[in-house]
Each structure stands twice: as C-alpha cells, then as structure tokens.
C-alpha cells in the first residue's frame, strides 16, 4: 500500500485529521487531502494543501484508495465519483453500511468480507467497532444470546465543531445529551449499533438493545455491556479469552482518557451479571477517532491491499484466504 495514491476526503474534520496523522506515522507519502470548497487551499499539518472534493477531481482516475469522512449526504454524493474513477472507497459515514452487498468491516472480526466489494467498503459506527471486537471472541467461545449496551460517547463523535464548543463552554454548563436523530422510540445511533453489529457478526437475529448517551468528554467513547451467553463462561474465562483477542487490551478500569490516542479497545470490570443467567457485564473504552474511525479504515485498506497497489481492483478481488493479519 506504500505506493498507493491515497485521498483523504474530509481531511479538515475530526476524523480526517487523525487519518492524515496515522497515514503519516505509518509511512504513507502519496497522500492528498480533500474537503469542501470552504477549505480549499488551506495548508494542513505536514504541509499538505487541501483540494476541493469535486466530482471531476475525484473521478479523474489518479486515486487508488479514497478514505471518506464527510458525513452521510456528502458521501452519497461523492463516493460514486471516486469509484467511477477506478478507486476503492472506504466510507466512514452511515450511507452504505447496511446496503446489501456492501461489506461492513471490522478487520479483526470479518476482515475477509472486505474482499468481496464492488468499489465501496463501509466502516462501522464508532461504538459498533469496539463492541464487535469484544463480542466476537465471546461469541466464538460461548455463543451470544442477548446483548445490552449503554454508551458514554465523547463530543468528538459529533465532529470538530462540537469539540470546539465543549472547549469554550463553561464547566457548569456541561451536561449529558442524546443529540442524535430519533428513529421511533430509539435514537438512530441505538438502532445503528444493533443493525451494524448483527451484520458484522453475521447474527441477524441477535437481540441487541442500546441506550446511547453523549457525555462532556473530548475524546474516547465508553460502553457498559451486558451479554447473555448460550454456555456459561466465568469472568476469569472471559478475561482470558479477551486478553488473547486482537486489538483488545484487558485493564482494570477502562476510561476514555486512557483509551485516547491508543489503537486498542480497553476492556475491564469483567464480572458475572447478577441479574441474569449465563450473563457477564463488562466495560470498554476506545478512541472513537482512532480505532473507532480512522485506524479501522486504514486497517481495512491494508488488509485489502496487502502492501502492493498498482492494480487496486484486482488486488481486492483476491481470495478471502489471502487475508493478512491486522496491523495495530
């Protein structure tokens, strides 16, 4: 992938800035930055100058891989153009996540599915990614029967502007919020977590109930998770299983502060669920901008492209058996 021509679309945003930093740290040099006309010509960290993401620029045929973090409506408008130009798009909005035939990928969980794409791969929601990393090994060991989750999501999940608002806000005005759209009696964030986890885990009937809450924290999402299993698993057994899981680190008490700027999902407080049979409770924290967004997308790209990339489309159609391990 080192020689790939990479475009970061949404480069001036919260996720885009982290994407550019991670690409730089991983040694990628052939990187261009795109955003809206508002940011065109702006110079970002590392000296990279922002280009306007017009349909013509994206479809010009000089991009191999396009990492999108622009929001759902802009993704719906722009992603088809870059794909038309021959690139593979990895999209972090919810535009394509539940579309049949479009892979929704957490490399540690269902990485092989990324290879069966027609130019678009979807990156899951920032709460679904860490949740799937933790649920998958527990499911493999004991079978998931039911999942309940309550989230504590940082303001960076709502973008760079909201981070600035929190920084400027007097502390006494800090509050919780449920600032998502409503989907019946749930927030759309709650229904996304359910539908996306079911798709990624390939468990379409798994009952999942979520309550999503925004907290006055800048970076890092946390989740309390209650799982009911088919077979009994002690807390010690679950701890052992999770300590071997890729991209997961078991700690005593995971916090957003400790998770910030790390690549891993921190998991702890693993204990029996005193209110359920074959139940466990755990707490996780993850940097929503890193593993919850930018890093997961880069790992998808690395998994598909495996180091080379002159003919992106042919590389991504390799057999699923060729999937290399995830680099964290």
Ligand X SMILES: NC(=O)c1ccc[n+]([C@@H]2O[C@H](COP(=O)([O-])OP(=O)(O)OC[C@H]3O[C@@H](n4cnc5c(N)ncnc54)[C@H](OP(=O)(O)O)[C@@H]3O)[C@@H](O)[C@H]2O)c1
Q: Cα(134)–Cα(129) distance, rounded to whole angstroms?
A: 9
Q: How far is the CB of 214 from ligand X (least distance, A)?
A: 11
174 is catalytic: no
DSSP H or E segment with residue 22: helix 14-25
- Annotated catalytic residue within 81, 126, 133, 286: 126
φ, ψ of residue 39 to 5 degrees: the values are -105, 0
The DSSP secondary structure of 158-211, one letter per residue, reads G-HHHHHHHHHS-GGG---B--S-EETTEEHHHHHHHHHHHHHHT-TT--EEEE
Two tokens, residue 219: 């970076």
Q: Shortest Cβ contact with ligand X: which residue?
A: 13
Nearer to ligand X, 151 or 288 (CB): 288
Binders of ligand X among residues 101 to 140 (CB under 6 A) are: 126
- Residues binding ligand X: what is the number (CB under 6 A)? 29
Work out which of 93, 113, 117, 198 binds ligand X, going by CB under 6 A: 93
How far apart CA 57 and CA 305 sit, in angstroms, is: 23
Binding of ligand X at residue 291 (CB under 6 A)?
Answer: no
Contact with ligand X (CB under 6 A) among 74, 132, 238, 266: 74
Return the C-alpha torsion angle 49, 54, 59, 64, nearest 10. Answer: 30
In the numeric block, which tokens belong to residue 299?
A: 């790992």
Given the rule CB under 6 A, which of 32-40, 104-112, 228-236, 256-264 is the region that contacts ligand X?
Answer: 32-40
Report the residue from 39, 128, 198, 212 that binds ligand X according to the rule CB under 6 A: 39
User: Tokens 């622009």 map to which residue?
Assistant: 70
Tokens representing residue 116 in the block? 């069966």
Task: Give the Cα separation of 92 and 251 in Å (integer).
Answer: 28
Judge whether 81 counts as a catalytic residue: no
- Out of 81, 133, 221, 286, the active site residue is 221
Question: Per CB under 6 A, which region of 132-140, 262-270, 271-279, 287-295 contacts ligand X?
Answer: 287-295
Interface positions, 142-161, toward ligand X (CB under 6 A): 156-157, 159-161
Return the active site residues: 126, 221
Summarize as ranges the residues that interact with ligand X (CB under 6 A). 10-16, 35-36, 38-39, 53, 69-72, 74, 92-93, 126, 156-157, 159-161, 288-289, 292-293
């Amino acid at each position: 992938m080192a020689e790939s021509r990479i475009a970061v679309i949404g480069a001036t945003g919260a996720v885009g800035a982290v994407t550019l930093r991670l690409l730089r740290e991983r040694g990628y040099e052939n990187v261009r930055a795109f955003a809206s006309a508002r940011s065109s010509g702006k110079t970002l960290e590392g000296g990279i100058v922002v280009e306007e993401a017009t349909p013509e620029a994206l479809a010009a045929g000089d991009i191999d891989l396009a990492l999108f973090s622009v929001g759902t409506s802009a993704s719906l408008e722009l992603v088809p153009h870059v794909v038309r130009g021959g690139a593979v798009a990895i999209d972090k909005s919810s535009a394509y996540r539940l579309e049949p035939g479009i892979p929704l990928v957490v490399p540690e969980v269902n990485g092989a599915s990324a290879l069966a794409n027609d130019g678009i791969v979807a990156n899951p929601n920032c709460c679904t990614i860490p949740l799937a990393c933790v649920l998958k090994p527990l499911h493999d060991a004991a079978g998931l029967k039911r999942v309940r989750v309550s989230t504590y999501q940082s303001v960076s999940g709502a973008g760079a502007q909201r981070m600035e608002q929190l920084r400027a806000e007097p502390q006494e005005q800090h509050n919780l919020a449920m600032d998502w759209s409503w989907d019946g009696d749930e927030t759309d964030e709650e229904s996304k977590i359910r539908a996306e986890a079911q798709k990624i885990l390939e468990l379409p009937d798994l009952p999942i109930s979520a309550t999503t809450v925004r907290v006055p924290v800048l970076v890092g999402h946390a989740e309390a998770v209650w799982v009911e299993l088919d077979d009994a698993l002690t807390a010690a057994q679950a701890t052992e299983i999770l300590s071997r899981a890729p991209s997961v680190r078991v700690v005593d008490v995971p916090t957003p502060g400790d998770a910030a700027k790390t690549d891993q999902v921190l998991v702890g407080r693993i204990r029996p669920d005193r209110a359920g049979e074959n139940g466990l409770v755990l707490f996780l924290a993850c940097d929503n901008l890193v593993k919850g967004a930018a890093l997961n997308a880069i790992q998808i790209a690395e998994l598909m492209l495996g180091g080379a990339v002159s003919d992106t489309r042919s590389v991504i159609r390799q057999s699923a058996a060729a999937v290399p391990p995830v680099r964290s």
